[in-house]
Amino acid sequence: MAVSPTASMEGPMNPQSKAASAEVRYTRFERARILGARALQISLGAPILIDAPPTLVDPVEIAELEFAADLIPITVRRGPAA
C-alpha cells in the first residue's frame, strides 16, 4: 500500500482530517481505564482542565466531567481488528 504525501497530515491533530470529525467511541473498559488514570493524576496534584465548582473535590467526579467535555489528554491505542 502506497502512502500519499498528505497521509502524514491526516489524523486527530489535523482539524481538516476526516478522522477528527468522527466521534470516538470507547468501550466500557477503555472508559474505565481513562477515568481511573485521570482520577489518579488529579489526586496526585495534576491541574484540573475544567472549571469545576470549589465544592467538587472527588477526583473521580472531576475526571468524569473532563471525560464528558472531551478534555482528557489520554489516547487509546488499539490493536488490529480480529
Hey, what domains does the chain have and what are their CATH numbers? 25-77 (3.90.940.10)
Task: Give the torsion through C-alpha atoms of 48, 52, 55, 61, to 10 deg.
Answer: -70
pLDDT 10s digits, 18-70: 555 567 799 999 999 999 999 999 999 999 999 999 999 999 999 999 999 99
pTM for the full predicted model: 0.69
| Spatial distance between the Cα atoms of 47 and 8, rounded to a whole number of angstroms | 31
Structure confidence at residue 22 (pLDDT): 64
Structure confidence at residue 8 (pLDDT): 44
Structure confidence at residue 24 (pLDDT): 78
Structure confidence at residue 6 (pLDDT): 47
